[in-house]
Structure formats: structure tokens, C-alpha cells
Structure 1
Amino acid sequence: MDHGTNFGMHGGGWMWLFWGLLLVVLVLLIVWLVKQIRK
């Protein structure tokens, strides 16, 4: 079962946009936390 192509068909572009934004937020949060810890 290939979930990748399935997701592309059902979810559409907004799903990829949502996950992309979520990933960016997570990365920014991690960078901020590391900066706080290193103070």
C-alpha cells in the first residue's frame, strides 16, 4: 500500500501546505529552545 500517492490524490495541495507549515513551526521552536538553553 502506497500512502504517498494516496495522500496526494485525497488530501490535495492544502495537506502538503499544512504539514509544511507544521514542520517550519517545529524547526523554529527547536531553534528557539536551543538558544534559550545555551544562554
Structure 2
Amino acid sequence: MNENLLNHIFTLDQLKKQNKKYKKKKQKNFLKLLSVFG
């Protein structure tokens, strides 16, 4: 396996993790907004 490919896979994995965190954060903020207006 060449190093470039490994780095690429690692980067994709990191992006996926960040994306999950971001989505969770967004959901929390959305729930906060709902509780303010609700």
C-alpha cells in the first residue's frame, strides 16, 4: 500500500468524524433555538 493512499484514507476518516461532530453541534444549537421559541 502506498503512503499517499493511506494518508488519503486517514484524511477522509478525519473529515467524517468532524462532520459527525459538526452535525451533533448543529442539532444542539437547533434544539436550543426550539426551546427559546417554543
Relative to the length of structure 2, the TM-score reads 0.69
In structure 2, the gaps of 5 or more residues are 33-38
State the 1:12 CA deviation.
Answer: 1.9
Cα RMSD of the aligned pairs, angstroms, is 1.6
Mapped pair 1:24 → 2:17: yes
* Higher gyration radius (CA): 2
Compute the TM-score of the two structures, normalised by the length of structure 1.
Answer: 0.67
Q: Which has the higher helix share?
A: 2
What number of residue pairs does the alignment pair up? 31
Identity of aligned residues (%): 10
Q: Distance in 2 between matches of 1:37 and 1:26?
A: 16
